[in-house]
Structure 1
Amino acid sequence: MDTLLLVVIAMLFAGYFALAGFDYGTGLLYRTLGTDEPERRRVLGTVGPFFLGNEVWLVAAIGLMIGAFPRWEGELLSGAYPIVVAILVGLITFTAAFQLRSRRDGARRRVWDTLVTGGAAVTVAGWGLLLGNLVRGLPLENGRPAGDVLDLFSPYAITWGVGFVALFGLHGAAFIAMRTAGKLAERARRAGRACAGPAVLFVVAAGVGGMLSDEVGAAVTRPWLAIGGAAVFAALLMTASSSLARYRPRIAFACTTTVCALLMPLLLAARYPNLLTSTVDSKVLTVEQGVAGGATLDVLGWVALAVIPLVLLLQWTVWWGNRRKVDERTPLFW
């Protein structure tokens, strides 16, 4: 049951990064793609119907993580506390500014635009830093924070932070190109191709380069899986770039969605059965050590079995109801 629940958590994070990822990518790019207020509102309108529903995946993933693996959640939160706080601040800023910028005519939208883009950038970079440290190991001693806070900002972790900005920028650009037409779609295609090169470099550096490093590779139980996954990701991202160049945004979006969705499952699979490793005392927290009691797992298993199909049905309904492209005639609420 513990392994099954870990798989469910990985799948929930997969849904979050794949779906909320284009929200953040849109936030990163919309000021560049929209040359005036009507165009910017149209870009934001591409994610409007999906915006709040996409965050449900994160709430479900964190809730299940706290219930099924409380020690994992506790040590991860304490070991990467500054990064977790930055993610929360960025997420709150992005969500609030996104919803408030168009509420009143004549509002000073330049300030809200800055908050939307800044919040998206902080959130995405924060997730990259967190996952980079999850691969490399956290500065923990006996499960408690140890060492310098700057240990969280190693070159490898920073590679993840910067790489996530490029990856989700490409993901958002592919989504906007798929959901719009004309000049907006053309600008999105160009922006996506500009993000593709850094995104490919990121997955190669994180996967191949990281596993060849003694410090990072020692924390991974299946380096061959990380290297193989990086190669597949690089191929998918290059396919996304070429698809944008050939005016095939749906193929590009399918490729970026696959990469974003498989990030967390691949990371956990490459480290299994280890959940956390320490860079200070080299101790390891395994799935068996971090899991909750049997009665709790049984309850969570039944809850997950009931809730996940409902979430999938809700997502499908929203996508089906908003499958048409956004244009000048589309009602906008953001």
Structure 2
Amino acid sequence: MQFHDVWFVLIAVLWIGYFFLEGFDFGIGVLTRLLAKDRTERRVLINTIGPVWDGNEVWLLTAGGATFAAFPDWYATLFSGFYLPLLIILVCLIVRGVAFEYRVKRDGERWQRNWEQAIFWTSLIPAFLWGVAFANIVQGVDIDAEKNYVGGFWDLLNPYAVLGGLVTLVLFTFHGAVFASLKTLGDIRDRARGLALQLGLLTAVLALVFLIWTQADGGNGWSLGAMVIAVVALVGSLAAIRIGREGWSFALSGVTIAAAVAMLFLALFPDVMPSTLDPAYSLTVENAASSPYTLKLMTVVAAVFTPLVLLYQGWTYWVFRKRIGTQHIPTAAH
């Protein structure tokens, strides 16, 4: 395996890690409106991700930085062609972070209600747009001989991409509901389990259509294997949440996300951005990659620092592993 193949795999792993972790973050944000009955319960949900949400976003920064360094042509075409949706995602992530921090800085009803609305919308919109973006990457877009995207914004909102956005939105919300049932106590935990079952069934329908479409359009044996794993894991997650095994359900919903994202990358390889104008214009792991020396140096750096990051993040989750409920929220913080 050559270095550009290695870095394609590593970037896929980074995106899998990001969607696994940020997925339940987005889900919790959406659930502040779908699940929480009042401000106290919204505070409980937000507190379940309070210690970890910013660390989860490091995976996105690393994935973007790795793409820039390992595949500069891929990065340039992607971020110029998908400029508007990626800008919307970036603005949402910024506002979302501010909303988490600023919500409790004042006691005013209007102040807190507006920031809570911001948390909901800036969780929902990126959860949808990430699916749209990745569906377009896998399906292919209008790339010319100069490696430039020549389509428009509305071209990105084709039926396959919109379905991909709906899948990520519902899947992340399901993942968040399972996480909420794992991290909370009392009535909100029971309602989270019930909502997770409903969302899981909806996810199963949408995801199955999307994955079959992906496989039929350009899949291979490897992507088919990943699709089977995703489907089996989703069924297992639903079965586990039904009998109250939240830990197993959360692990399996994470496997569902990991396998689904892996399927997209496996269906994409060896391309990184297929061209719908002419296959010869497609960006591949070879023609979009940096020099072998650059990739070799990056591999050494990643081998040293990645285990440290994983250990620190794992320690963070261990420290904040206990469940919380409405009884843990001070009256002044409601």
Q: TM-score range by the shorter chain?
A: over 0.9
Deviation for aligned residue 1:288: 0.9
Deviation for aligned residue 1:79: 2.3
1:125 to 113, 124, 128: 128
1:188 to 185, 188, 192: 192
Structure 1 residue ranges without an equivalent (≥5): none
2:284 aligned residue: 286
**Percent identity over paired residues:** 32
Distance 2:44 2:204 in 1: 29
2:181 aligned residue: 177
8 A contact 2:200–2:234 mirrored in 1: yes
1:44 maps to a residue whose letter is I
2:61 aligned residue: 59
1:80 maps to a residue whose letter is F
Matches within 5 A, 1:129-208: 129-142=132-145, 143-208=147-212
Distance 1:319 1:254 in 2: 14
SS of residue paired to 2:52: helix
SS of residue paired to 1:125: helix
Deviation readout 1:74-119 (Å, 9 max, x if unpaired): 1111222222122212222222212221222225222111111111
**Residue 270 (structure 2) pairs with residue 270 (structure 1):** no
Deviation for aligned residue 1:189: 0.9
1:47 aligned residue: 49
Distance 1:253 1:76 in 2: 32
Structure 2 residue ranges without an equivalent (≥5): none
1:262 maps to a residue whose letter is A
Distance 2:149 2:321 in 1: 47
Task: Give the structure-2-normalised TM-score.
Answer: 0.92
Deviation for aligned residue 1:63: 0.7
1:88 to 87, 90, 94: 90
Distance 1:13 1:147 in 2: 25
Deviation readout 1:223-254 (Å, 9 max, x if unpaired): 33333322321222122222222111111101
Matches within 5 A, 1:239-250: 239-250=236-247
Aligned residues: 327
Give the 3 Å change call, closer, same or farther, for CA 84–15 of structure 1 in structure 2.
same
8 A contact 1:46–1:176 mirrored in 2: yes
Deviation readout 1:17-45 (Å, 9 max, x if unpaired): 11111111000102232222222111111
2:229 aligned residue: 232
Distance 1:286 1:144 in 2: 14
Task: Give the structure-1-normalised TM-score.
Answer: 0.92
1:324 to 322, 325, 329: 322
8 A contact 2:226–2:262 mirrored in 1: no
8 A contact 1:79–1:139 mirrored in 2: no
8 A contact 1:24–1:172 mirrored in 2: yes
